[in-house]
Structure 1
């Protein structure tokens, strides 16, 4: 499982899949799960793999998209002005490499730039620049050069250009888009792990679209699958680096899979959370309970569909998400796969019925 996890995470994190342009991750999903179950897609581009035949409907979902940019304007000098897709802190962007994906599928390397500090006043140097003041330099000499020779058009998606890299400490990896390629890898590996298992339910692995711009594909996915239970797989922010209180950490690298029970977008079903904890304990899977007062996941839209869907979020904590370089401990990811597969096996009809038996 570990070797497969490394290769799958590398392929997924190095894919170019800004919100609305998820095709490279969708292609990996299809290639990995062909023969595992019945594949389908929705009209927004979300992708599905359905397996099992009897019992309650269980959805195992991750989002395929990553934060990025799009080309907003091409200057007379051939530089690219950009608009953000998803949440960025511009402090992290200067001098970072990016790739512009053209309509023909070519990828053009560039660097995010701004006015040199030599030409800034002391007051200007102390400010975090707005994205409107940044631009991408691809080495073009004019607007015509950018359009005609580089093939770049307005609206082309832009993603960080970062290789998947092993760090000096065992099982620690650096890459872009762990939010949410860890979730997508977990969907894929979980379905592969369960392929030879007689399940007590109908299981659908899902890759949603456009999570980073408002959980848009999640609503479509919930309506298509109509699950009785949703397990959302994520790459949430870690909180164990300088600037956080170590005594309050709920997302430390190496401490296990996160079980998120609340954020501003969703309160998880308490009975489902209790079941997840029990399954983790019975299988000796390390985990950390998380209550958040910021952020959100696809659970925010999924749990409100179809008269209510019991939902829970499992996550592999990642430092520095929504930047060019995030970091994970692979063992947290493996714990997420183990907990996902064990939880699916536990969700028989009686257990699922008990999650929403209120009268």
Structure 2
């Protein structure tokens, strides 16, 4: 039901600050399904889906995690730095990039590259003795030989670097990059398709936001467009169903149903809005999971701070912020059915 759409959305490049291709796809997909679709000045995509009643916003973000080119060496390698929240001074690198194929944004599109690190065969004793990987331990290799060749492709300090992984089925699951948060966008598109022409219990709006991965930058202006009464932020969720994570720390799992997130590292979410999701799930006899997420934040944080009661509804995922984020399609289907039930029957 969802695999094809998730694959299409996750394979559209959309690093922080350059979400244009993803935004254009949302405009194209939502325009024939919704009463009105528009973008604001910073690039957020909005849609008035339809219905009458309290003004409900469902939101997910357009951007995906990325590194940035920091500098270019004379022999054509690139040093990398944070492209999302944090800085080198305070946050260590995301080691999921090490050894991975990537795409680098240039002036005429995206160029293939590889994140390189010296192998054990050529590392010094001092390098092998290090317990951690720092920013000076890896680099971007474009297969080029000079700074001039790199710059000729429009690659410069500030160019975005994203994972190049393909989205595919793996056993019972789906694995790939940018599940965070293209699965949320896929859910919104499928809701718009299914609900077109139906009577809704809410006046329903969508928002697809920019720059969530760098401090929820796009969501701080959402209420400037519409005076929303309540909101649901759709996000990737966390699980503890792998060998190195204790269930006592994260009592959630793939295949256990969607997750209602009650609190994260920044804020408590609305129990009243969450109760509406729980009631819809109970009517469907659909299990949902409940969790507190550590080291996590969402656009729901800024919505609450702007005065909009907001719940965070998440799809369980392993290996978040990696090129191999893993989900269970049935959890996404269940998430869709719960939201559909709430929108149709309150």
| TM-score, normalising length: structure 2 | 0.92
| 1:297 pairs with 2:294 | no
- Inter-partner Cα distance in structure 1 for 2:271 and 2:94: 37
Matched, 1:60 2:58: yes
Q: For residues 131-163 of structure 1, give each alpha carbon's deviation from its aligned partner in whole angstroms, at most 9, with x where no partner exists.
A: 343211011110011112x33233221110000
Match of 1:207 in 2: 208
Q: Is 1:219–1:301's contact at 8 Å kept on the other side of the alignment?
A: yes
Q: Which has the higher helix share?
A: 1
Distance in 1, Cα, partners of 2:227 & 2:125: 57
How far is 1:247 from its partner?
5.0
> 1:66, 1:180 within 8 Å by CA — same for their partners in 2?
yes
What SS does structure 1 have at the residue aligned with 2:238? coil
The 2-side partners of 1:346 and 1:53 are apart by: 12
Alignment of 1:207-356 (within 5 A): 207-246=208-247, 249-305=250-306, 308-347=307-346
Q: 2:155 aligns with which of 143, 152, 155?
A: 152
Gaps of 5+ in 2: 86-91
Q: Does 1:22 align with 2:19?
A: yes
Distance of 1:187 and 1:251 partners within structure 2: 23
Q: Which residue of 2 aligns with 1:109?
A: 112
Distance 1:122 1:341, change over 3 A: farther
Structure 1 residue 248 displacement after superposition: 5.2
Q: How big is the shift at 1:81?
A: 1.4
SS in 2 for 1:192: helix
Kept in 2: contact 1:255–1:286 (CA 8 A): yes
Report the counterpart of residue 140 of structure 1 in structure 2: 144
Deviations along 1:270-327, one digit per CA (max 9) or x if unpaired, are 222222211111112221011223311111111111xx21110111111001112111
In the other structure, the counterpart of 1:127 is 131
How many pairs were matched up? 338
What is the alpha-carbon distance in structure 2 between the residues aligned to residue 189 and residue 250 of structure 1? 29
Does the 8 A contact of 1:164 with 1:175 survive in 2? yes
C-alpha change, 1:97 and 1:342, in structure 2 (3 Å) is same
On the 8 A contact 1:181/1:235 being kept in 2, the answer is: no
- Structure 1 runs (4+) deviating above 6 angstroms are none
Instruction: Report the counterpart of residue 198 of structure 1 in structure 2.
Output: 199
Task: Give the 3-state SS of the residue equivalent to 1:124 in structure 2.
Answer: helix
Going from structure 1 to structure 2, the CA distance change for 1:12 and 1:229 (only over 3 Å counts) comes to same
- The TM-score normalised by the length of structure 1 is 0.89
The aligned counterpart of 1:351 is none
Q: Distance in 2 between matches of 1:178 and 1:25?
A: 13
8 Å CA contact 1:90–1:131 kept in 2: the answer is no
User: Equivalent residue of 2:196, what SS?
Assistant: coil
Q: In the alignment, which residue of structure 1 is the partner of 2:190?
A: 189
**Deviation at residue 346 of structure 1 after TM alignment:** 4.0
Kindly indicate whether the alpha-carbon contact (under 8 Å) linking 1:54 and 1:201 is maintained by their aligned counterparts in 2: yes
Where do 5+ consecutive residues of structure 1 fail to align? 348-359
- SS of 2:156's equivalent in the other structure is coil
**Displacement of 1:122 after TM fit?**
4.0
